[in-house]
Chains A and B, each alone.
Chain A
Amino acid sequence: MQSIKVAVFALSVIVFFALFANSIPQIESRPPKEVALGADMTPQQLAAAGRQVMDTKGGCFTCHSIGSPGPRAPDLQGVGTRAATRKPGLNAEAYLRESLIEPCAYIVESYQCLMTPMNKPPVSLNDAEINAVIAFLESLGGEITVKPIAVSASSSSSTSQVTDAKTPPEILKAMACFGCHTISSVDFMTGKVGPDLSHISTVAATRKPGLSAKDYLRESILDPNAFIAPDCPDGPCKSPSLMPPIFGDRLTAKQLDMLVEFLAGLK
């Protein structure tokens, strides 16, 4: 009898712990998503993609911030300007590259060397991603001089291969559309660079005279610059388009059809 009482007591304690742990904020840690990169991106596209890399795989914002000094690492605001003056003989691009690959070669005053080489594990940015990040850093107060490069096919994190995604959400995920677009009915689609696509079918048919909704959607995926949408989350969409013109190479015909069908159904 006593043993049963003890068992009930022990069980209630365990249940209490489990309930307590479920009552606090619940966060999952997801592996970082790959960002789509192509050799034919414009500087602006490259910078936008670099910003995404920093948000996801780079994990830069655990330490850095932009526009307010962080406790752990320097504010990156204006780094595009000051990069040119950091080290004699190094221009902005070269300095930024060094600060990513050999972070402790130059240590910003009053900070410690905490950053690990970003091209090495665990972060392991590939060359294309490093260039994209440099483009974004340069855009913070400076001029973008770095050129995009294609992801080498040998790299394991390459996204240039066609994926085997089979459903529209899987395709949106595999192509990293979520980095830039929001679709309220798809939970991971929360990007804020390009237009909100939650109700895209209501405007798609009216965008370009003579193009049906589906034709317009197909065109805007294959050739984003053919028509620049009017409203992006941060004001009017920029021209040339920040959306990279690379999806034609990455989607199979079937996947493209599925995607267009899916978008055309978003009322």
Chain B
Amino acid sequence: MLSSDKQNWRPLVRAAFVIFFLLILFTDPALAQSPDPAYREFPLIGSRVALWLVAEVHLMFAAFMLGVPMFAVVVEMVGWRNKDARYDALAKEFVKLVVIAASTTAILGALLTFVLTVFYPKFFNYLANIFSPTFIIYPILFFGESFTLYLYYYGWDRMMEGAAKVGHIIIGIVLNIWGTILMFVANAWLTFAISPAGVDDQGNLVDLWAAITNPTWMPINVHRLIANVAFGGSIVAAYSAIKFLNSKNAEEKAHYDWMGYVGNFIAIIGLIPLPFAGYWLGREIYGFNQQMGITMMGGFLSWLWIIQALLIGILFLTANYYLWVGMGRISGGERYRRYIKYLAAILVVGWIVWATPHSIVASLEEARKIGQFHPLLGVLGVMSAKNTVVNLMILTTFISFLMYRRAGKEARGGGARRVKILQAIMVVSAASVVLFYGVYGYVDIFGLFGDPGSGTPAIIRIGFSVYQVAAVLAALFFVTLLDIFLFRRATTLGPMSWGQMPERSQYALVLLAVTFTWLMGLMGYARNAIRQDWHVFGILKDTSLDAYSPTLGFAAIVISVCVILFFGLIAFIFWLGELGEKKAKLTFPSSESKPAYEPAGSGGGK
């Protein structure tokens, strides 16, 4: 929080400067329309790495800025509906972090434009020609977003009561609308480079709307929207973890424990649908160009998915681990402890199957060596198996969460037992459906499509994943619904002690944030590397020295540098932001207050 009123407008002034700078870049003929070279060489690290670093770190900041307001508004609404000031204060604290990060995001955005125009003038000009109308709208959107953000934050305390509060929530929603449009516009540019549409063979624009709504646009929009929420949640959780570890007293500890819990909860909510969004995106890529799909999954990028599997496994395990440790601060949590080892076992086995390479034909020699299937795990390395385990891992995480939710409560009433049995049946049947189709993906057990025991045709097999996902989502939805109903008037088993978390649980939150950020960097590399030696796939060839796609090892180093830069920068600006801050009153749901055991986030996320 900035201390005096005069300083409040500083970020706005800064943002205005950035926009001015952007406009100059777009309009300056010397920079934008320079006819001469297609490329210029960036000193020392080369143009590619320079662009890569700036773009990725900008993207991480932008993801944070777009993700956090989405759940901040929801948390604010929860506070408003339940007349609970603690949620309101928490939402404001979330938005404070966004305000602090805003100008850095803008500066990085300007830097990105600068690097593109100066070092990749031909590529930039081509995109600018195709998308010129959106290049004009973008700064306006950006200004709208910044202005609304500052209005939202600085108007918070003045718009607390009655109609003003409703107005404030509407501002928050408008802020998210700006942000979403902003991202959709930027996504149009980058998805066009992957799957161009709306242009003729020579790359001349025929239809701007078709260019915007190119085949990968919507899948990337949805994927990013969800990922931003999860990412924002995990960064907020890591922030709280560090504050928790540095806390001087029990009150601070309790507050940041709670905040970290909410952040983690949001991250999990975002994490669960991400694999589904990912499959959709993958399907669109195959649909756009088979060869591109094959390059991505079976060609030189195939090993990338092993790294991805490692990261996702860590995410699932860590998120579950945090919940398990968290049960320790709830009296009544002991009852569930004995189940943890089974859940952990399912997660680990699932992880191993997922990490098993599938028909990795990276080179012909390799293919001859390992054959189409993995030498040890054979069919376990195939897509159906991966779909099956990811669904099971999601169900397991859900069970961990249910246990956590119930830890401190006991449902009352005669129907409770029956409802619980019903819930168990739902979870078990979802798991059975997933397993059944998982097996059926390989062996036609009942001979529905030919001889019993023979393989199931690929085309039919692909449809199975839809049933699996439907079963899991249905179970998630109905079990949660029953659970809310069941525990509405539950008895509590003892106090919830916020702040009584071992330190290792906070390290789990940090691990979650680092892994998530790294994963984002990796996916960014994948998305760009599938274009191989094209700037705009099939239309604008990359003729620079960097036309080749670097190895994964090299990419990993650049990604690591991006992640370090991001965390270094964000830690620094958060620290700066707090220098002038007055001691604010810290809140957390105390054990005396009304909905005593409702874990803070469980109401917030649904």
Interface residues of A, Cβ cutoff 8 Å to B:
2-3, 5-7, 9-11, 13-15, 17-18, 20-22, 24-32, 59, 61-63, 71-72, 114-116, 120-124
Contacts and interface: CB of A to CB of B under 8 A. Distances in A.
B549 A116 contact: no
Contacts of A24: 303, 306-307, 552-553
Contact of A27 (B242, B300, B542, B560): B300
A116 B532 contact: no
Contacts of B294: 62-63, 72
Contacts of B364: 61
A27 B303 contact: yes
Interface in B551-567: 551-553, 555-557, 559-560, 563-564, 567
A192 B187 CA distance: 45
A114 B290 contact: yes
Contact of B515 (A5, A13, A32, A115): A13
A28 B549 contact: yes
B180 interface: no
A32 B547 CA distance: 10
A18 to B, nearest CB: 4
A110 to B, nearest CB: 10
B441 to A, nearest CB: 15
A3 B242 contact: yes
Interface stretch (B89-97, B274-282, B421-429, B533-541): B533-541
B310 interface: yes
Interface residues of B, number: 54
A21 B307 contact: yes
Nearest to A32: B533
Contacts of A2: 242, 245-246
24 contacts: A3-B245, A9-B511, A11-B564, A13-B515, A14-B514, A14-B518, A17-B307, A17-B560, A21-B553, A22-B556, A26-B553, A27-B300, A27-B303, A27-B551, A30-B548, A31-B533, A31-B542, A31-B547, A31-B548, A32-B533, A62-B291, A62-B298, A71-B372, A120-B201
A156 to B, nearest CB: 8
B520 to A, nearest CB: 12
B366 interface: yes
A164 to B, nearest CB: 15
B222 to A, nearest CB: 26
Nearest to A114: B290
B285 interface: no
Nearest to B547: A31
Contact of B532 (A18, A26, A29, A121): A29
Interface string B515-537: 10010000000000100111001
Contacts of B362: 25, 27
B587 interface: no
A51 B291 CA distance: 19
Given A26-B551, A122-B534, A14 B563 contact: yes
Nearest to A17: B518
Contact of B507 (A9, A11, A114, A121): A9
A88 to B, nearest CB: 28
Among B364, B515, B550, B552, residue most surrounded by chain A Cβ atoms (within 10 Å):
B552
B511 A29 contact: no
A255 to B, nearest CB: 22
A63 B201 CA distance: 25
A63 B241 CA distance: 49
B201 A6 contact: no
CB-CB nearest 10 A-B residue pairs: A21-B556, A121-B538, A22-B553, A31-B533, A122-B538, A2-B245, A26-B551, A29-B549, A114-B290, A29-B300
